[in-house]
Amino acid sequence: MNKYKTTERFYVDHAIYFITTKTQNNYPYFKNNVFADLLIMQLKLSKKIHGFELYAFNILYDHLHLIIKPSEKSDISKIMFSIKKQFSHSCNTIMGFNKLMFDSNGPMAGSNARGNVGEETFLPLRSRQYHTNASLPNLLEQIHDYISRHRKDIPKSNDPKFKWQKSFYYRVIRNEKEFNVKYLYTINNHLKHAEKWGYDYPTDYKYSSINHIDWTDFIY
């Protein structure tokens, strides 16, 4: 079976996974720092909610690499669904494709034209995790404020509505040697793209986890 088959997944308990997910049609949304910074915030939020360990990541202009170890709370399908769906909704709210909603606790991620409520993690009074994880309120408030602040700065016409490609690719990391290879590949991937394909990634690119060691995890 193809190890990258995504219609039928087989997970390994306590495994570490290398994961890649791409934007639809490889559109370079993350060349815009507003969207890349928002994805950083979403990774932090999903990490708190789902309890996974995040060893490395790199946000390229049109795709995302992750090295994660899920907790018993959530498998990688639930984790990726959370990251992708919640980010898409927040990003499209900033771009004006979704309405920005408010309640007595401040702004929520919004609803679409049919009036459907946005992601559950953006509804503090109705979120069980909000009450059981002391750091979630601050993260939620930061995302709320970020969406409100940047919504007026990103004209709707500049970019198409944000969409990820369906599903994602994953690989179980089998041993320490493979982990080291994937780790170095992930944190330095922007340099590879700059050297091999001429993309204009700066050498001090801030969206590699090597610059976020204060909240990512280590293997000792």
Give the β-pairing of 53-59 and 16-22. unpaired
pTM of the model: 0.82
Residue 138 — pLDDT band, cuts 50, 70, 90? Answer: confident
- Give the per-residue pLDDT at 133: 63
Domains, the chain, in order of start with CATH, read 16-211 (3.30.70.1290)
Above 50 in pLDDT, residue 39?
A: yes
What whole-number distance in Å separates Cα of residue 81 and Cα of residue 39?
Answer: 14
- Give the per-residue pLDDT at 9: 61
What whole-number distance in Å separates Cα of residue 19 and Cα of residue 56?
Answer: 10
**Token digits of residue 31:** 């060349």
What whole-number distance in Å separates Cα of residue 17 and Cα of residue 69?
Answer: 6
Tell whether the torsion through CA atoms of 55, 49, 152 and 61 is positive or negative.
Answer: positive
**Token digits of residue 15:** 């495994």
Lowest mean pLDDT among 25-34, 55-64, 101-110, 149-158: 101-110
Judge whether 45 and 143 are in contact, CB under 8 Å.
Answer: yes
Above 90 in pLDDT, residue 19?
A: yes
Highest mean pLDDT among 1-10, 52-61, 102-111, 188-197 belongs to 52-61
Identify residue 46 by its one-letter amino acid code: S
What whole-number distance in Å separates Cα of residue 30 and Cα of residue 209?
Answer: 15
DSSP for 60-86 reads -SSEEEEEEE--SS--HHHHHHHHHHH
